[in-house]
Amino acid sequence: MNYSNATRQVEELQAQQQKWWAHALHINTPTLYTRLQQAISSHSASSKKVLKVKKPLSFSINCNILHPNTLATLVLEFTFPSNYPEETVCVVKATSTATPQQSCEQCTLAINAYLAQSFVGCECIDVVMEWISEHNTTCLSLGTGDTTQEDTVECYVLRYNHLLQGAEHKKEKNMVDCAKKDRLKGGILWGTPGIVVIVPPSNEEDAKEYASSCRTLGKRPDGVEAVHFSKVGWERIWNSTGTEQKKLLDLTIPLLRTLAGDDETLLKNVLGVV
């Protein structure tokens, strides 16, 4: 995470603590939040140094405090990916320990479909809270019809034994440079396993050519798998900002979960977890 993104994330979370819903806000990653505050107090936002973080900044808003009569069990989880707000938007998920999971998934999809229009940055959180206020009597009883082909988008998953982040890892750096040169649209999940997701407008032929190039570079994927992801999730991650992607996005598990439409079975399949 660069210091500019860290500064923006801290400032935006501090701004949320001044909103009318502040008393319902809970920071899920307090240690990370404190660390980021300390780091930016000793470095300027323009610092070229990189902060190594293992997980993203996250907070929750307990809707039961705000709407006790209609949303007594609903909790909204907000996550700031490490490259937020420079290259992506925050991730929003509706959760509950009492409400049926299907209802929460539909609520999550509805929120993200609304956000996918044109909202970015801290404005997203304000818009979500306004939407919840307006739909507090119906957001957990939305239709749960079967997903159709029109609700999904075909993407291509390339799995690697491992992908290590950092300029010192030459093969991985060459992979990223190759994707940039070929103007591929997608993202990369660093670690073990390593995952590359190729998304539209890049197509199957582009994905297969990239896999071939990776083999030449010494990084061999286990194949190219076509996967139908949530169209709302795809738009949420790649189309909301309206800016042209210049390199593969750094993906996280929360972002992949959003892309999968909160389908845990699909997420596990993408990660190769049986």
Residue-wise pLDDT for 211-249, tens only, equals: 999 999 999 998 899 998 988 888 888 865 444 567 899
Question: Is 140 within a domain?
Answer: no
Strand-strand pairing, 75-80 and 91-95: antiparallel
Per-residue model confidence as pLDDT tens digits over 8-63: 899 999 999 999 999 999 999 999 999 999 998 887 766 777 888 888 999 999 99
Q: To which H or E segment does residue 30 belong? A: helix 30-42
CA distances from 227 to 119, 148, 197, 248, 253 (A): 27, 14, 9, 18, 16
User: Same domain, yes or no, for 77 and 157?
Assistant: no
- On the question of pLDDT at 98 being above 80, the answer is no
Question: Is 142 within a domain?
Answer: no
User: Same domain, yes or no, for 64 and 97?
Assistant: yes
Question: Is 139 within a domain?
Answer: no
User: Same domain, yes or no, for 36 and 91?
Assistant: yes
User: Same domain, yes or no, for 264 and 157?
Assistant: yes
Q: What average pLDDT does the structure give for the chain?
A: 85
| Average pLDDT of span 245-266 | 85
This prediction has a pTM of: 0.56
**47 token code pair:** 């610092």
User: Same domain, yes or no, for 198 and 100?
Assistant: no
User: Same domain, yes or no, for 122 and 180?
Assistant: no
Q: pLDDT: is 238 or 274 the higher one?
A: 238
Q: To which H or E segment does residue 269 belong? A: helix 264-271
Domain end, chosen from 134, 167, 202, is at 134
Q: Residue 155: which CATH number?
A: 3.30.2130
Question: Is 143 within a domain?
Answer: no
User: Same domain, yes or no, for 124 and 153?
Assistant: no
Per-residue model confidence as pLDDT tens digits over 186-208: 999 999 999 999 999 999 999 99
User: Same domain, yes or no, for 118 and 187?
Assistant: no
Q: To which H or E segment does residue 175 belong? A: helix 170-181
Per-residue model confidence as pLDDT tens digits over 148-166: 556 789 999 999 999 999 8
Q: To which H or E segment does residue 48 belong? A: none
Cβ pair 90, 124 in contact under 8 A:
yes
Residue numbers of the domain that contains 261: 149-271
Other beta carbons within 10 angstroms of residue 268's beta carbon come to: 12
Domain end, chosen from 134, 164, 181, is at 134
Q: Residue 14: which CATH number?
A: 3.10.110.10
- Using DSSP's 3-state secondary structure scheme, residue 17 falls into coil
Question: Is 239 within a domain?
Answer: yes
| Average pLDDT of span 164-189 | 93
CA distances from 3 to 13, 208, 209 (A): 15, 36, 35
What's the number of domains the chain is made of? 2
User: Same domain, yes or no, for 98 and 8?
Assistant: yes
pLDDT band for position 171 (50/70/90)? very high
**61 token code pair:** 């808003």
Beta partners for residue 91, in sequence order: 79
Report the percent of the chain where pLDDT is more than 70. Answer: 88
Domain end, chosen from 93, 111, 134, is at 134
User: Same domain, yes or no, for 153 and 58?
Assistant: no
User: Same domain, yes or no, for 13 and 85?
Assistant: yes
SS (H, E, C) 101-149: HHHHHHHHHHHHHHHCCCCCCHHHHHHHHHHHHHCCCCCCCCCCCCCCH
Q: pLDDT: is 265 or 256 the higher one?
A: 256
Cβ pair 232, 113 in contact under 8 A:
yes
